Chain A
Amino acid sequence: MIMTCGCSTSGKLSVSSVAYQSLRTDFAQPQSIAKDAKIAVEYFFNSKGEMQPVVYNLTSEILVLDQTKSFVIMPDGSSLSYYDPTIRTSTTGTYSSETSGATFNLGGITNALGIGGALGVLANATNVGSSHTDGIMRQNTVSVTDQPHVYIGPKGSVAMSKAYKINGIGDASYIGRNVIDVAPSASTVRFSVCVSYSFDDGKHYEKLVTNFYISSNISVPVIDRKVSKAFYNIYEQKPDALAENMYLFVLPNNIKGVTTDVMGEFLVHSNIYDTYIYGSLIDFQ
């Protein structure tokens, strides 16, 4: 009796291209936060284009965050509130990022590298977006659930309740003409976030509005499985690719997270390093 065993596999690896994207705000990213700033919001993105804002209270007062009056204006113009009990978001992408030297050390405000100081290597304080953050976001305080108003204590921080996916960011299927260093008005992906906050227990609210846009989008096909050539091609097209505050590389491929019926069982492939994300974007007032 000879046992014949099926040896089916999921097929052959195929990496179709290497894509690079850089995101900017419509103002130059600061080198340090102003000493008299009261609020800062740091925006993190993952490979699936999900955006996670983290709000920092830079004062010794209590900050009230009004999520009913805080919005994301999507690239298609639609407006989504951060307080909407009917909408549930769950981040499916990892916030894996190499952020050394690029993330504002807002977690260590009381440290020497805090407000007004030069940004540098992150100190011992809990920092958001530390190098190679995987999976869930780390934050100084407990992540807020869906509440209309959120109170942030002195020098505290909180992650906004939702991580909306922004179409066009990190999307492997995004195919547009390659653009390099375009102005905001020429970008095909523009979106905004409005954060409403108060320092007088909700009597008066101010707004911090940040406008974002994709400034560069370069996609280079992978030929003959030479992934390195695609990277070099991107670097030749944009020599300052790594100087951007926020950029990501995506390698679209055919590896599925869960396969179907290979050798009679379902296989899970979870260790896929096909995305490199660097940095974050910040705004303050």
Chain B
Amino acid sequence: MRLKNIILIICALLSLTGCSTAEKFSVYGSGGTKIYTPYNTVTSQSIASQSDKVDIAVPSDMYCGFILAQPSGCNVKIPIGLDYKISRHTGTKAALYAGGTVASVGIGVTMIGTIAMIAAKCNGDDEESDRFGLITGIGAAAAGVGACIGAPSQSRLRQTAYDYNFGYEKQQRVEIPRLSFTLLNPNKPKGYMEQTQAGNESSSRRKASSGKDVKPDSKSNNISVSSSKVNKNRSDYSKKIEGTYIGTGSLLTGANVDENYTDVNVIIKRIDRNHVSVNVIESGEEYFEAPLLYEVVANKNNGFNLVMDKLPDAVIRISKDGKLHFNHKKVNIDNVIYTLDIKAKKR
């Protein structure tokens, strides 16, 4: 083979070989969640359904400590850390060793063959000259092959992931249910905490309908943490009572029962140590327009009372054994005031 052709082949191989790689992983999460990378916060990839995932490829010359997840219906991008692993990229390093070895052998053979070829030519021995020329060509080819393997490998080793021996866990998860309602809907007034809770005489209940997202109603008790902070170190009462309570209830006008409910869930979520949000779900539907905000105080019976600021007629009592009694005397439905009474037990 002519040396010129060998060189052409080497150049072609080198041009086809990529010099950069990517660290790949998949992100699982709730359907409708958009995933952004911090280096591209404009274009997202969406997780279609609960069992779906998006595949992310982070360039190897980069370290990415987190992704940004935006669940469906959420107006904020949430930083979620990326779990990483030690990855020595031994395949690439082996290629570098192999490439270097092959190349160096090829170079050695090329040098020997060239010298011998020249010597044979000088002696007028054309046959020997051709033989050594072939050896030279083989050596050059080996050097070329070694370069093809070793050169891109060497450039890869300069990349951050290779230099610091890391990759990302193949399966990353965005655990939206772990995140609180408050985190997913950060719409409260910001700055130094001040009392901002609006004083209402009643909590409005919307007419029964399905499929509507619950958003904090600015007119009703704000979901935000808005009470004045105290310096006293209090126990985390909210953590003790958060959870789902299952029971039954009724809607009353005075002493008369207007409606009975056989399937009621009261979901209490922690906002901070002394504040919780309360969702009432009746037959699978949100009962109120927005979650209710309560302050948690301990009572003398080792249980807890949940009180609503400026609405003393809405009280929840939870006994030490997890029995809940929800009594709200100012439920507004179509401008008529009812009493909602629920008894439930913690699941």
Contact = CB atoms under 8 A, between A and B. Distances in A.
Contacts of B272: 181, 239
B79 A276 contact: yes
B144 to A, nearest CB: 16
A183 B162 CA distance: 45
B338 interface: no
A245 B179 contact: no
B291 to A, nearest CB: 13
Given A13-B84, A15-B65, A227-B84, A29 B191 contact: yes
Interface of A is mostly: loop
A2 B178 contact: no
A40 to B, nearest CB: 16
A24 B192 contact: yes
Interface of B: 37-39, 41-42, 59, 61-66, 68, 75-86, 93, 96-97, 100-101, 103-105, 108, 154, 157-158, 160, 162-166, 169, 172-173, 175, 178-180, 182-183, 186-194, 224-225, 229, 231, 270-272
Contacts of A96: 38
Nearest to A20: B79
Nearest to A227: B81
A274 B224 contact: no
Q: Which 4 A-B pairs have the closest CB atoms?
A: A227-B81, A28-B191, A243-B186, A271-B62
Given A3-B104, A9-B164, A228-B173, A239 B270 contact: yes
Interface in A18-41: 18, 24-29, 31
Given A7-B93, A231-B79, A240-B186, A251 B65 contact: yes
Interface of A: 1-3, 5, 7, 9-13, 15, 18, 24-29, 31, 96, 98, 101, 131-132, 181-184, 186, 215, 222, 225-232, 235-236, 239-245, 249, 251, 253-255, 259, 262-263, 265, 267, 269, 271-274, 276
A12 to B, nearest CB: 5
Nearest to A240: B182
A28 B66 contact: no
Given A13-B84, A227-B83, 20 more contacts: A7-B157, A11-B165, A12-B164, A13-B86, A26-B192, A27-B191, A101-B75, A131-B41, A225-B84, A225-B169, A227-B66, A228-B173, A232-B179, A235-B183, A241-B183, A243-B224, A249-B66, A269-B63, A271-B63, A273-B65
A9 B42 CA distance: 34
Identify which of A226, A236, A242 gathers the most chain B CB atoms within 10 Å of its CB. Answer: A242
A3 B86 contact: no
A232 to B, nearest CB: 6
A236 B179 CA distance: 8
A25 B96 contact: no
Contacts of B62: 271-273
A190 B52 CA distance: 46
9 contacts: A13-B166, A27-B192, A98-B68, A225-B169, A228-B81, A239-B182, A254-B164, A271-B39, A273-B37
Contact of A9 (B97, B105, B163, B191): B163
Contact of A263 (B64, B158, B271): B158
Identify which of B41, B166, B188, B191 gathers the most chain A CB atoms within 10 Å of its CB. Answer: B191
Given A10-B164, A273-B62, A243 B97 contact: no
